[in-house]
Homo-oligomer: A and B are copies of this chain.
Amino acid sequence: MSGTLYGLGVGPGDPELMTLKAARILSSVSVVAYPAPDSGESFARAIAAEHIDKNAEEISILVPMRPDKFPHEIYAEAAQRIAKRLHQGQDVAVLCEGDPFFYGSFMYLYDLLIEEFPCVVIPGVSSLTACAAVAGRPLAGRNSLLSVIPGPLDSETISAQLNTCEAAAIMKVGRHFKRLYKLVEDEGLLERAVYVERATLSEQRVLPLADVPQDRAPYFSMILIDKGSRPNGPKSVVT
């Protein structure tokens, strides 16, 4: 009997934003895996630390900090290490910042292991709604069209989306900040945009996009836009 692979969403950063379910499962497994940077602490592990069993084996997946290049080999190797424990009948929990299936790296492990092992994904609070909460701004309401736009996408695609949607969240801002700022400004949306950095952590920053002084942003930052009712938003609602 092989073990079960758990993809555990641990939420956006505040350890209290973990779900009861993720906390319970984490405290019950004998193997815990998580991504970690070349140097320094794993963010996912830091969020979930207090629920890890003291006797659990920990598998640190070293992922270099290059946001737009994906190191397939690293996850293939991690999947092999995890598969070994699952074959031995041990349950393995993989800690995922935010939600496992919302722009997370867990899906690479999932793809590699789902054919062979039982797998359970526990959804978590995503950065999307966490940023809206700390900004005190509803993300999308009633019948608003919401676009979730990764910042590294090309400018033409982003502008078209900003033009069509009623609400938008631009993710993975990072070093694309200056270009994204300009795109938002060119669409006449600067006054309706808010910038959120490291939501729910003590070093969190929330400010109008127009007031952001720097040219770059950390990877964990987001731009939220809410047009309200704009002429070029969706035209009608079928009742």
Contacts and interface: CB of A to CB of B under 8 A. Distances in A.
A24 B20 CA distance: 11
Interface centre among A68, A148, A172 (most CB of B within 10 A): A148
Copy number in the complex reads: 2
A145 B147 CA distance: 7
Interface string A15-40: 11111110110000000000000000
25 contacts: A15-B20, A16-B24, A17-B19, A19-B19, A99-B132, A99-B133, A101-B139, A102-B132, A104-B138, A110-B138, A119-B136, A121-B136, A122-B133, A123-B125, A123-B132, A143-B153, A143-B172, A145-B149, A146-B148, A148-B148, A153-B234, A153-B238, A154-B238, A155-B238, A176-B238
Contacts of A132: 99, 101-102, 121, 123
A237 to B, nearest CB: 5
A150 B145 contact: yes
Interface in A47-77: 68-70
Given A133-B123, A234-B157, A141 B103 contact: yes
Contacts of A155: 238
Contacts of A143: 68, 150, 152-153, 172
A41 B120 CA distance: 30
